[in-house]
A and B are shown apart, each in its own frame.
Chain A
Amino acid sequence: MRRDLPALVLFGASALAPLTIHDGFLLDSLILILLWGAVSSAWNIAGGYAGQVSLGHSAFFGLGAYSAALLATRWNQSPWLGLLVGAALATVAGLVIGYLANRLKGPYFGLATIAFSQVLLILASRWRAVTSGSEGIPVPFRPGLWTLGFSSKVPWVYLVLTLAVGVYLISRYLETSRPGYQLAGVREDEDAAEALGIPCRRLKVTAIAASAAVTSVCGGLWAQYVGFVDPFYVFSVDLSVRFALNSIIGGIGTAIGPFVGSLLITSLEIYLRATFSDFKAGLVGIYLIIYGCLLIVVVRFVPQGLVGWIGERARAMGRYARA
């Protein structure tokens, strides 16, 4: 229970926020923090708990975004159905890529996943008959819960919060359950895990598929929230890197880490964008520079991520207090 305290504070504050905050900009920021946190947390299932560091998770995000958007616009279906279809497609894609890339380790696995997301990018931007190609798809606003159209941001806060709590609970399950411990073994040393009777391949592929499915749901919700799907954004390497970075900065392989990372990075990005948007065009990308510097500092000085670092400090303090 004590382990869940930071999450209770974070999610509790998010749940209470709409009661006191009515500013659209701040609520929008909160929604994005929770949404990017949820995707990073989904990434963390494969990248953190299973040790399969993917740099192509935008593939699953984009599959979700396109499924929801296409079902809504072309076939006039509910985006909820789109979320389901997207999750199913992403599961299949996750199974396939997990199976094929099973023997690839570290950077090689990362490269294979990048390639996969780029194939989908080309498909989405060229297959004009279905996807409208590089123009992207505007998602029409149709009010109602069934069509996921809300004139207020408040329902979005609770929708995205539910998703975030869900992914957090999956992560906590992975810290305390049999498959979770077995995955930790696979991550630490695959040969040893295999020798101890753990079906490594099956576990890894399952973790990647689950991670893909949740990522896809996030992508579908994002498309409905933003109202526009652009292939060069949803399938971008930038986006994949963001999912990974939030987890790495916050604390890879921890349940709360991706959310801490997202809180830091997303708010920093929003703040920097807002601050520097008034300047001349030359400063438009400055937030990327600051973003990059921050990353260097974290990787250099707290490679275990903020959550791991705080945990170590706390234990050191505990020892100091007892001594």
Chain B
Amino acid sequence: MLELESVTKRFGGLTAVKEVSLRAAPGEILGIIGPNGAGKTTLFNVISGFYAPDGGHVRLDGRDIGGLAPHLVCARGLTRTFQLVKPFGNLSVLDNVMIGALTRVHVVGAAREAAREVIAVCRLEAFADSRARSLPIGLRKRLEVARALATRPRILLLDEVMSGLNPTELVEMIAILRRLHGEGLGLVVIEHIMAAMMRLAQRIVVLHHGEKIAEGRPEEISRDPRVVDAYLGEEFVLADA
């Protein structure tokens, strides 16, 4: 269980995240939405240890992980992906995923096998030996998920893994995430594509100017007037769902 208690992050005079509290139950898919600059990625950076919070607590299964180094947060069972994907460009897809697997599996041969399994789950078998740099963006997003998954997290933070995908890739990605959810993995998902989010998330938190302005089930969120206000001019996106 991931629990945030009035988490605040400031950059100089700018408060990027202001007293945000939320919780993601084990095995739940929690969506985080909000307009550009709402503080979604900053929130991920705080949770995953890349930024130390200026106030509040981040708890994973009751233990405070706020300010812990990212690799230690990963060791505790929480792994994140990056919005701007960061593949190990010169290495093969298999090596990319294997480096993730090596965090839990300390023997190279066994880690390679574990990586192959994850690659199969993410349907990247055909590209296992390709250089990560040579993959198109859709597959790079999937590689980003596969690599994070290989660290065997209990909670996976996904930062816009569905944006930039074509419709076929989007369907595949949703199928992969559903499957992971079905296996009991907790997902916290930042997304811009509302349609996908409405179908995927069980609960949604809306951020605006760094503050949580709404929280609830997708259908509640899409009717919430504060949310519609925040997304002024984007109602059609919500209506799409």
- Chain A residues with CB under 8 Å of chain B are 176-178, 181-182, 184-185, 188-189, 191-200
Contacts and interface: CB of A to CB of B under 8 A. Distances in A.
Given A194-B69, A198-B71, 7 more contacts: A181-B98, A189-B87, A192-B82, A193-B88, A195-B82, A197-B71, A199-B71
Nearest to B70: A194
Contact of B50 (A184, A191, A198, A199): A191
Nearest to A200: B71
B102 A181 contact: yes
A189 B86 contact: yes
A200 B99 CA distance: 13
Contacts of B98: 181
B19 to A, nearest CB: 25
Contacts of B95: 181, 184
Interface in B54-70: 69-70
13 contacts: A178-B111, A181-B98, A181-B102, A181-B108, A184-B88, A184-B91, A185-B91, A192-B87, A195-B80, A195-B82, A196-B100, A196-B103, A196-B148
Contacts of B148: 195-196
A176 B50 CA distance: 29
Interface residues of B, number: 32
Contacts of A195: 48, 50, 70-71, 74, 79-82, 148
A258 to B, nearest CB: 19
B151 A178 contact: no
A196 B88 CA distance: 12
A64 to B, nearest CB: 32
B82 A197 contact: no
B-side binding surface: helix, strand, loop or mixed?
loop
A-side binding surface: helix, strand, loop or mixed?
helix
Nearest to A177: B108
Nearest to B111: A178
B90 interface: yes
Contacts of B107: 178
Nearest to A196: B100
Contacts of B70: 194-195
Q: Report which residue of A176, A188, A193, A198 has the largest number of chain B beta carbons within 10 angstroms of its beta carbon.
A: A188
A197 B103 contact: yes
B106 A178 contact: yes
Q: Report which residue of A177, A194, A200 has the largest number of chain B beta carbons within 10 angstroms of its beta carbon.
A: A194
B75 interface: yes
Given A181-B108, A185-B99, A197 B90 contact: no
B147 interface: yes
Interface of B: 48, 50, 69-71, 74-75, 79-82, 86-91, 95, 98-100, 102-104, 106-108, 111, 147-148, 150-151
A178 B108 contact: yes
Q: Report which residue of A178, A185, A196 has the largest number of chain B beta carbons within 10 angstroms of its beta carbon.
A: A196
B99 A198 contact: yes
A193 B80 contact: no
A178 B102 CA distance: 7
Contacts of A181: 95, 98-99, 102, 108
A195 B151 CA distance: 10
Given A184-B95, A188-B91, A196 B108 contact: no
A194 B106 CA distance: 17
B145 to A, nearest CB: 12
Contacts of B104: 197
B194 to A, nearest CB: 27
Nearest to A183: B99
A182 to B, nearest CB: 6
B74 A196 contact: yes
A192 B148 CA distance: 9
A184 B132 CA distance: 13
A280 B153 CA distance: 71
A192 B132 CA distance: 13
In the A-B complex, the 10 residue pairs with the closest CB atoms: A197-B74, A197-B103, A188-B88, A192-B86, A185-B99, A194-B70, A189-B86, A196-B100, A197-B71, A199-B71
A189 B103 CA distance: 16
Nearest to A202: B71
A197 B151 contact: yes
Given A197-B79, A197-B103, A192 B88 contact: yes
A181 B90 CA distance: 12
A161 B196 CA distance: 62
Given A196-B100, A197-B151, A188 B82 contact: no
A188 B90 contact: yes
A188 B89 contact: yes
A177 B108 CA distance: 6
B232 to A, nearest CB: 34
